[in-house]
Structure 1
Amino acid sequence: MNDNMAVYPIGSLVTASYKTGQYIGEIVEQSSPMKAAVKILAVVKHPTQGDLHNPMDPDVPFFHQRRALAYQEIALMPVQTIRPYEGFVPEYAESLSRALAQELQQLDRAIRFAQRCREELEQLQQEYKL
């Protein structure tokens, strides 16, 4: 059986992706060969904000706000995103706080990078005498 057709026993701890977030959860049902119902226990990566078809574009007609899945929420996850998990399951609120902080740090780094690029390009613009 290949990995994207894996069957996970009920109660298995797994990591799984849903839309743009990643979670630690427990298999509660495998409803089809393509999807499994996962009960959310912790957040690994907070979902990405904005329009996924136009990444990093703040001027899209509809800028999506994506919330993390809630504690013990059950979501149908694509089986190809599910992997076995063998580790400590952090408390949900703590994991959500950590994932949100990581997302904010990445955005802060992107802002600083964009500001630095702008400074360098403005300097080059002066040097080019444009």
Structure 2
Amino acid sequence: MSKKSVLAVDDGITMRLFYREVLEKAGFVVEEAANGIEGLERALMTRFDLMVVDINMPKMNGYEMVRQMRDNPALRSIPVLTVSTEEKEGDVVKAYDAGANFYLVKPVRPDDLAAAARLLTGSVA
């Protein structure tokens, strides 16, 4: 069985490296994008099993990226895990309203990230 693929979209290189390290250790193949526009372009070129999307990014924030994914038939069915420093209930609701499937607050614990990725992709531990 082939490994599930994840696109980590975050403007912080340290966060992208964190996602890569944790998710590769959990058995995923990980690619990266530095903002929402780049993330959408990558998702349209390559089929991913999961998108890990930061909320606060330049050029296009995570809310808008997820909204555009949900409006695009080619991307609509890809699960999205949003990650943010914002932890107010309104921020969480805004992410779910945009179309996110799951929301984690930074700093993300590695085991929580891996468990959410497995859950959203239907992967076994």
Question: Which TM-score band (shorter chain)?
Answer: under 0.3
Answer 1 or 2: which has greater helix percent.
2
Larger radius of gyration: 1
| Larger strand percent | 1
| TM-score between both structures, scaled by the size of structure 2 | 0.24
TM-score normalised by the chain length of structure 1? 0.24
